[in-house]
Amino acid sequence: MVEMEIQRKVIEYRIVGGTGACGRAQRNTFPARIEAPVQYGPGVSAFAVYMTQYQLLPYQRTAEVFNELAGLGTSPGTLQRTVRMAATRPEVPVTAIRRALVAAPVAHADETGRHVNGNLYRLHVLSTDRFTACFPHPKRGAEAPDAFGLLAPFAGVLVHDHGAACQCYSCWQAFCNIRRLREHRNEVLRSLAFLCSSYVERGLEEFRGSPPAIGYCAPSRVRPSISALQSVRTLDAGE
């Protein structure tokens, strides 16, 4: 049987002073992270950031989780201050994430548009199934991934959607399958348009009797085009 137990843990630190055999007064100090008579530890701070920033739980409901599971009288304001404080100390986790991405055997690169202070930027992303690094930049060309600083040292397989900026790097590369399906769909649509126009012309020529109605197409000629169109819809549906 596997159980999970969530409980509050209180650690008390004391200052001890005295005079040693040498005759000198000695007094120890608190650990560096202790700054108040009562404060929350790093585990509480990490859980607060995880619940609000990754699980996207509101501050009020996160405070309720703390109170109901561990008996902590945490307020939403305290959680907000904890998140703001964590945002000023990103060096250690950001460095660890960047190193893990560079060492990953396979990673996916992409970019999308977003507004930063009212200006259109490109949000460049390098990710695996565990880690993601984002980098906003005003450009979408090779200048942006160079400034990102992760693709140049990357030595694994880089998966992307045929982006020219990604193809200039020396690592192994693979193209995203959804992009291939999209290009195949466009080719089918272009061929379909050509076939339809050709079949309409031939159908008009083959029509017997009175002059054909505008847009008439012989059923035997249309059937292959309909099959091609159904294939395109299948690709769009991901079947």
Confidence of residue 217 (pLDDT cuts 50, 70, 90): very low
Confidence of residue 208 (pLDDT cuts 50, 70, 90): very low
- Pairwise CA distance, residues 234 & 217, whole Å: 24
In the predicted structure, residue 30 carries a pLDDT above the cut 50: yes
Per residue in 132-142, pLDDT tens? 998 888 887 78
- Pairwise CA distance, residues 89 & 83, whole Å: 10
For the chain, give the mean pLDDT: 80
| Helix or strand (DSSP H, E) at 116 | strand 106-116
Nearest 5°: CA angle at 194, between 189 and 196? 90
SS3 (DSSP) at 216: coil
- Pairwise CA distance, residues 16 & 27, whole Å: 6
Count of other CB atoms within 10 angstroms of residue 221: 17
In the predicted structure, residue 62 carries a pLDDT above the cut 90: yes
In single-letter form, the type of residue at position 199 comes to Y
Confidence of residue 204 (pLDDT cuts 50, 70, 90): low
For range 170-196, the mean pLDDT: 76
Q: Which CATH number, 2.120.10.30, 3.30.420.10, 3.20.20.140, 3.60.15.30, labels domain 106-174? A: 3.30.420.10
Residues listed for the chain = 239
- Pairwise CA distance, residues 61 & 8, whole Å: 18
pTM score above 0.85: no
Confidence of residue 33 (pLDDT cuts 50, 70, 90): confident
| Helix or strand (DSSP H, E) at 119 | strand 119-127
Contacts of 195 (CB under 8 A, 6+ apart): 224, 225, 228
